[in-house]
């Protein structure tokens, strides 16, 4: 690692520590009670930004030793010399100032919210109808967006430790890639295998971009 890479890594670590400190401070402020002991509302606090000014001084010293001697003479007459020390010293200074600005989740844009449920009126011993609704945090329905749904076999096996689930025969989805309609909804069927026991719990992972929700389905 050269000197510049070392300095860049040091500054990156310092900025990360400052950002972590700001986040932890804001979390502590968020934990303050909204009312006092008399039920009166108390002020809430938000850290919009933090200005920083960093000065990094790096001093490095490298020492090498070289041993010299006359090896052409007989051993008894060889001359030996003490090691010669070569010392190199380098000093590098770096200065950086800036501002860390807090950004709401989603960079200020409405967040995607996913809701999933099974239709209770269309339950059968063989399958379940899974219905999904997508909207944003402003309540606007999201149509024409891709939704992925998959069986989370790892979690499902953990919840059904009293039996062995075969991924190929325990259950399957009618479709894993869905598209929301204008009303923000989409649906698919979850089919159970013939040998899947009653009471088996399956976990479904539903994703739209970076947004995710889970649904547990019991046979």
pLDDT of residue 201: 93
What is the number of other CB atoms lying within 10 angstroms of the CB of residue 204? 24
pLDDT of residue 209: 86
pLDDT of residue 81: 46
Largest Cα–Cα separation, the chain: 104
> From first to last of its 219 residues, what are the pLDDT tens digits of the chain?
555 555 556 777 888 888 899 889 988 888 888 777 776 778 888 888 889 887 777 676 766 655 555 555 555 444 444 555 556 666 767 777 888 888 776 666 788 899 999 998 989 989 999 999 999 888 899 999 999 999 999 999 998 988 888 988 999 999 999 999 999 999 999 999 998 999 999 999 999 988 899 999 999
pLDDT of residue 6: 55
Single pTM value for the model: 0.56
Asked if residues 152 and 86 have their Cβ atoms less than 8 Å apart, the reply is no
CA-nearest of 119, 145, 126, 160 to 206 is 145
Asked if residues 179 and 145 have their Cβ atoms less than 8 Å apart, the reply is yes
pLDDT of residue 187: 96
Strands across the sheet containing 112-118 = 112-118, 127-136, 185-192, 171-173
Q: Which residues pair with 136 in a beta bridge?
A: 112
pLDDT of residue 32: 83
């Amino acid at each position: 690692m050269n000197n510049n890479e070392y300095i860049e890594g040091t500054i990156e670590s310092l900025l990360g520590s400052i950002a972590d400190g700001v986040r932890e401070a804001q979390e502590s402020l968020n934990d303050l009670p909204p009312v006092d002991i008399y039920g009166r509302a108390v002020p809430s606090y938000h850290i919009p930004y933090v200005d920083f000014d960093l000065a990094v001084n790096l001093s490095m010293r490298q020492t090498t030793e070289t041993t010299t001697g006359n090896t052409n003479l007989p051993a008894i007459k060889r001359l030996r010399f003490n090691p010669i020390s070569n010392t190199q010293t380098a000093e590098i200074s770096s200065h950086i100032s800036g501002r860390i600005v807090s950004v709401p989740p989603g960079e200020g844009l409405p967040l995607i919210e996913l809701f999933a449920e099974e239709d209770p009126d269309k339950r059968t011993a063989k399958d379940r109808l899974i219905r999904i609704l997508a909207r944003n945090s402003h309540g606007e329905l999201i149509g024409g967006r891709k939704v992925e749904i998959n069986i989370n076999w790892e979690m499902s096996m953990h919840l059904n430790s009293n039996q062995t689930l075969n991924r190929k025969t325990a259950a399957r989805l009618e479709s894993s890639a869905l598209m929301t309609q204008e009303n923000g909804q989409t649906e698919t069927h979850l089919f159970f295998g013939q040998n899947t026991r009653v009471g088996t719990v399956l976990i479904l992972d539903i994703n739209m971009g970076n947004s995710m929700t889970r649904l547990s389905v019991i046979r």
